[in-house]
Amino acid sequence: MEGVIQQKVLQVAKQVESQLDAEIEALENLDIDDIERLREKRLQEMKKAHQQKQEWIAAGHGEYTEIPDEKEFFDVSKKSKNIVCLFYKDGSPRCKIADKHLHILAKKHVEARFCKLNVERCPFLTERLRIKIIPTIALISDSKTKDYIVGFTDLGNCDDFSTEMMEWRIAQSGAISYTGDLLNPPEKGKKPSNLLFGNKKSKTIRGGRNSDDSDSDNE
Q: Which domains does the chain have, with CATH numbers?
A: 2-54 (no CATH), 63-204 (3.40.30.10)
Region 115-127 average pLDDT: 93
pLDDT of residue 4: 57
More confident residue, 45 or 207: 45
Q: Give the pLDDT band of residue 206 (cuts 50, 70, 90).
A: very low
**pLDDT tens column, 103-116:** 999 999 999 999 99
pLDDT of 29 strictly over 80 = no
Beta bridge mates, 117: 87
More confident residue, 75 or 95: 95
Region 26-33 average pLDDT: 71
Angle, helices 93-108 vs 163-171, to 10°: value is 70
Beta carbons of 134 and 218 less than 8 angstroms apart:
yes
pLDDT of residue 5: 63
Burial of 162 (0-12, 13-18, 19+ CB in 10 A): middle
**pLDDT tens column, 42-64:** 887 788 777 877 777 877 889 99
Burial of 84 (0-12, 13-18, 19+ CB in 10 A): buried
pLDDT of 137 strictly over 70 = yes
Q: Which 3 state secondary structure label does DSSP give 64?
A: strand
Instruction: Report the share of the chain in percent with pLDDT over 90.
Output: 42
pLDDT of residue 43: 82
pLDDT of residue 7: 67
Q: What is the mean pLDDT of the chain?
A: 79
Burial of 78 (0-12, 13-18, 19+ CB in 10 A): exposed
pLDDT of 82 strictly over 70 = yes
For the ranges 133-142, 185-194, 209-218, the lowest mean pLDDT is seen at 209-218
Give the whole-angstrom CA distance, residue 182 versus residue 80.
Answer: 24
- Region of 89 please: left (phi>0), alpha (psi -120 to 50) or beta: beta
pLDDT of 38 strictly over 80 = no
